[in-house]
Amino acid sequence: MTDTHTVVPVEDTAMLATISNEHSSKIKETESTVTAAKATPADTTNNYTDINCYDEIEIEDMDYDEDEEKYTYPCPCGDRFEITRIELESGESIAKCPSCSLLLKIVYDPDDFMPDDGEDFELDTAIVVS
């Protein structure tokens, strides 16, 4: 940001008042922006309810890649929206296109993506004695 300074003779009070009003309005605009940002609670669930999405689709309409554990859906730009299983488990509901700025709202039951409670977890308990 570059600071610019205007030297105004004290006798030119009308110009001084104009410059002062311009700076005051810029300061008030910045203050209101900061106040609005502070008043808006942080989105901790990643369920972006206040943003515009290109579309809203059911999870069943997406393709699932088991190797990458990722759901994809065609994007109008020619690429594909993506959302991983881990993102869904953490409550994420927005798929993003890696090539453009479009977002896709995913409708799904979060209970279907709750992490397993250890059923598939195996612990190697072998003891090696030398």
Per-residue pLDDT tens over the stretch 43-66: 434 444 557 888 999 999 999 999
Highest mean pLDDT among 13-22, 35-44, 91-100, 110-119: 91-100
pTM: 0.52
pLDDT given at position 112: 86
- Tokens 């609670």 -> residue: 41
- Strand, helix or coil at 56? strand
Instruction: Categorize the per-residue pLDDT at 114 as very low, low, confident or very high, splitting at 50, 70 and 90.
Output: confident
Answer yes or no: are the C-beta atoms of 34 and 82 closer than 8 Å.
no
Q: d(Cα 121, Cα 130) in Å, to the nearest integer?
A: 28
* Mean pLDDT value across residues 104-122: 75
Residue 35 pLDDT: 47
- Strand spans (E) along 20-79: 55-58, 63-65, 70-74
Q: Which residue matches tokens 């995913």?
A: 106
What pLDDT is attached to residue 21?
A: 60
How much is the mean pLDDT over the chain? 73
Residue with tokens 């311009």: 22
What percentage of the chain carries pLDDT values higher than 70?
A: 50
Whether pLDDT at 115 is above 50:
yes
